[in-house]
């Protein structure tokens, strides 16, 4: 299925998924050039967290889950824009690493 609903906290889900790295995308994160940043990431399991709320920010417990907090633009972007850029840049990085 495209989506699955689970009765878990985000922390429980991350523990279950057991990613090698958790990256949180936030306007307050370290500024990065996304294509270069994704090219530096490991080929294994990466979890990304993208906010999708109209105002405010992540809870402290969510921030603590992340290994890194990054920002890909100086302005706030829609969540769907951030997710599509992450997918594209990761696919690009994978294709370059597999050559």
For each of the domains in the chain, give its residue range(s) and CATH number, in order of start.
Answer: 10-97 (3.40.1280.10)
Q: What local confidence, expressed as pLDDT, does residue 99 receive?
A: 63
Contact (CB, 8 A) for 17 and 71: no
- The pLDDT confidence band at residue 4, using thresholds 50, 70 and 90, is confident
Q: What pTM, to 2 d.p., does this model score?
A: 0.88
């Amino acid at each position: 299925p495209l989506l699955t609903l689970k009765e878990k906290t985000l922390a429980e889900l991350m523990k279950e998924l057991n990613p090698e790295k958790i990256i949180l995308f936030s306007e307050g994160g370290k500024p990065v050039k996304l294509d270069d940043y994704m090219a530096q990431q490991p080929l294994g399991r990466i979890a990304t967290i993208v906010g999708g709320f109209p105002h405010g920010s992540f809870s402290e417990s969510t921030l603590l889950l992340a290994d890194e907090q990054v920002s890909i633009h100086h302005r706030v972007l829609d969540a769907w824009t951030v997710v599509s850029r992450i997918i594209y840049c990761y696919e690009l990085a994978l294709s370059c690493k597999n050559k």
